[in-house]
């Protein structure tokens, strides 16, 4: 008969680990509940603050379109004013930052709930996944527009991009890992890889955004070199 230590060593990777949220999971490195809570709380708060400040800048620009220069308009490339003047800055007929002001309180609230030790039902996780995925799609679209259509960058927008990227990848990895989003057994190794290397995926996403910006705006960046 195997010793207790042997039985623990033979336990399947799908068994819950204390502090990881309590749900069965595929990966040996699941996202801990507290870490997910902090990611949602801090990421949502930063995104909300950036959206609010950008909304104020947009309002002040609307009051004085010719005389006011937004605080985030620093040079020909880093220029909120240029971005705000484009139709892409109001895809639903009102300024895009209003979307962030309305949406980011959701992850802030859910992050606080997780940190309190309360478990969330699956429908909440799936709803959050839907919302964060929609945000990621919008960010991807905004990136292409800023880089290749508007040819200008908005610092506060980039702050929102910076928080949506980890929220999307980590939440997606966690939901796939815990079966909240069903995946075929054949894809389980891919899910494990995504969960185990989620931080690398986030860093690679940042690197891709930075590299594309470096290439697209190189004509200006080179003027800053000594």
> What is the 3-state secondary structure of 70-93?
CCCECCCCEEHHHHHCCHHHHCCC
pLDDT band at 6 (very low <50, low <70, confident <90, very high): very low
Using one digit for the tens of pLDDT, what is the confidence trace for 129-163? 999 999 999 999 999 999 999 999 999 999 999 99
5: pLDDT strictly greater than 50? no
d(C-alpha 226, C-alpha 224), whole Å = 6
Separation of alpha carbons 147 and 203, rounded Å = 20
Cβ distance 32 to 38 under 8 Å? no
Q: Is residue 163 domain-resident?
A: yes
pLDDT tens string 87-136: 999 999 999 999 999 999 999 999 999 999 999 999 999 999 999 999 99
Q: Is residue 16 assigned to a domain?
A: no
The pTM of this model reads 0.87
* Assigned domain for 223 exists: no
- Pick the residue with more confidence: 78 or 17? 78
List Cα–Cα distances, 17 to 59, 79, 84, 215, in angstroms. 48, 47, 47, 44
CA neighbor of 149 nearest in space, from 214, 83, 91, 73 = 83
User: Which two tokens mark 178?
Assistant: 């815990």
Per-residue pLDDT of 8-64, as tens digits, reads 333 344 544 444 555 677 888 899 999 999 999 999 999 999 999 999 999 999 999
> 79: which strand partners?
73
Q: Is residue 140 part of a domain?
A: yes
Q: What angle do CA 163, 167, 170 make, to 5 degrees?
A: 140
In this predicted model, what pLDDT tens digit does every residue of 167-197 receive, in sequence order? 999 999 999 999 999 989 999 999 999 999 9
- Contact call for residues 168 and 174 (beta carbons, < 8 A): no
Asked if residues 27 and 196 have their Cβ atoms less than 8 Å apart, the reply is yes
> Looking at the 3D structure of the chain, how many domains does it have?
1
Distance CA 198, CA 44 (A): 19
Q: Say if residue 2's pLDDT is above 60.
A: no
Whether 185 maps to a domain, the answer reads yes
**141 is a domain residue:** yes
Print the domain residue range for 103. 29-216
Q: What is the CATH number of the domain that holds 67?
A: 1.20.1440.130
In the structure, what pLDDT confidence band is assigned to residue 67 with cuts at 50, 70 and 90?
confident
Residue 38 included in any domain: yes
pLDDT at 3 over 50: no
């Amino acid at each position: 008969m195997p010793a207790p230590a042997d039985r623990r060593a033979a336990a399947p990777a799908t068994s819950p680990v204390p502090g990881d949220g309590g749900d069965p999971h595929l990966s040996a490195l699941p996202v801990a509940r507290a870490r997910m809570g902090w990611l949602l709380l801090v990421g949502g708060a930063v995104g909300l603050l950036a959206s609010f400040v950008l909304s104020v800048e947009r309002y002040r620009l609307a009051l004085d379109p010719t005389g006011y220069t937004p605080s985030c308009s620093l040079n020909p490339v880093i220029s909120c004013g240029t971005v705000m003047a484009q139709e892409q800055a109001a895809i639903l007929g009102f300024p895009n930052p209003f979307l962030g002001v309305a949406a980011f309180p959701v992850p802030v609230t859910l992050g606080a709930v997780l940190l309190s030790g309360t478990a969330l039902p699956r429908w909440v996780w799936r709803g959050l996944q839907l919302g964060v995925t929609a945000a990621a799609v919008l960010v991807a679209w905004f990136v292409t527009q800023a880089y290749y259509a508007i040819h200008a960058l908005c610092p506060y927008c980039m702050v929102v991009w910076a928080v949506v990227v980890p929220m999307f990848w980590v939440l997606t990895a966690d939901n796939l890992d815990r079966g909240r989003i069903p995946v075929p057994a054949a894809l389980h190794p891919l899910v494990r890889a995504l969960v185990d290397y989620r931080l690398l995926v986030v860093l690679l996403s940042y690197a891709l955004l930075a590299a594309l910006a470096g290439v697209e705006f190189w004509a200006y960046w080179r003027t800053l070199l000594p």
